[in-house]
Amino acid sequence: MSATKFEVIFCIVNSGFSDEVMDAARRFGAKGGTVIRARGTANPEAESLFGIAIQPEKEIVMILVNKKIKNDILHSLYSAVGLNTPGQGIAFSMPVESVVGLTVTDEIKAEGTADSEN
């Protein structure tokens, strides 16, 4: 099995907080992201379980990053827009097996960091 070079980070926040997500991610090398408007569907039991009021209007920010910087970005997101902030965000990542559409420079940078990790 070949190692993946990229991860996609998903950060789900209350509506209006996507700029804070990207600011936090850029501090550790993210270049950009995609914002999708969404609607949360939590029930009252979930609200009491997490101890927060669930705002129905959400934004999902998808950020494709080199796996080398993923953990730094996740920690930055937790501090900037985590559940204990007004953004009330959660973030998680998933490995990306294939990527098309990146510039050659992005590919070379990813290959160089992946090679140095082995």
Residue 40: which CATH number? 3.30.70.120
- Residue 18 to residue 38: CA distance in whole angstroms: 12
| Pair of tokens at residue 80 | 């900037």
Q: Is residue 54 part of a domain?
A: yes
Q: Is residue 1 part of a domain?
A: no
Give the angle 73-74-78 at the CA atoms, nearest 5°: 115
Q: Is residue 36 part of a domain?
A: yes
What per-residue confidence (pLDDT) applies to 100? 84
Structural domain of residue 18, as residue ranges? Answer: 6-117
Res. 114 pLDDT band, cuts 50 70 90: very low
Quote the pTM value. 0.77
Taking 70 as the threshold, does the pLDDT of residue 15 lie above it? yes
pLDDT digits (tens, 9 = 90+) for 63-103: 999 999 999 999 999 999 998 999 999 999 999 998 888 76
C-beta separation of 22 from 85 below 8 A: no
Q: Is residue 73 part of a domain?
A: yes
Q: Is residue 72 part of a domain?
A: yes
Number of domains in the chain: 1
Q: Is residue 27 part of a domain?
A: yes
Q: Is residue 49 part of a domain?
A: yes
Q: Is residue 31 part of a domain?
A: yes
